[in-house]
Amino acid sequence: MGAGVISKQPGGSRRRRRGRSRPMSEINVTPFVDVMLVLLIVFMVSAPLLTVGVPVKLPQTAAQSLPTEREEPLTVTLTNDGRVLLMASETPSDDLIGQLRAIAAERESTKVFLRADGDIPYERVVQVMGALNAGGFGNIGLVTDTGGPRLDGPAATPDR
């Protein structure tokens, strides 16, 4: 990676006389640092793109976040136009319970996160929660955005 020859002559650049040359024993780390910086930039740019999600306008609450676990939790999303998504794949409502039972048989945890658009009627959210329960997932967490109104004090103003 950077082996060269050092000349014995004091001028260094002049080579009139063929003298004995000895190999340079220093390692040039500049190319290594350049490659590492390029990789760092690539990972910094690509990391936010790896987050799988569907754009949903979540309701805002004053609740705290749930602690994370070893296994990635199952996420069910209800979009504003009525679609149901398991993780990132769209699922017909008729097949939802069957797919949930198949997933529950393979997983250790019964935890599921439900992301529902704030404009969806409450009845539809409760129907999907019933399907989640019937599919074997009894530990349902509702995903919201923080900074919403509080019932014990002045309401926070949402920044929309």
Domain boundaries, the chain: 5-49, 60-146
- For the chain, count helices (H), then strands (E): 3, 9
Helix (H, G, I), strand (E, B) or coil at 40: helix
Sheet strand arrangement including 84-86: 89-91, 84-86, 74-78, 111-116, 139-142
Question: Does 3.40.50.2300 match the CATH number of domain 60-146?
Answer: no
Q: How far apart are CA 121 and CA 47, in angstroms?
A: 34
Has residue 54 got a pLDDT over 50?
Answer: yes
Q: Which two tokens stand for residue 25?
A: 């024993």
Reported residue count of the chain is: 160
pLDDT digits (tens, 9 = 90+) for 66-116: 666 566 778 888 888 888 888 878 888 888 888 888 888 888 878 888 888
160 confidence band (pLDDT: 50, 70, 90): very low
pLDDT digits (tens, 9 = 90+) for 76-85: 888 888 888 8
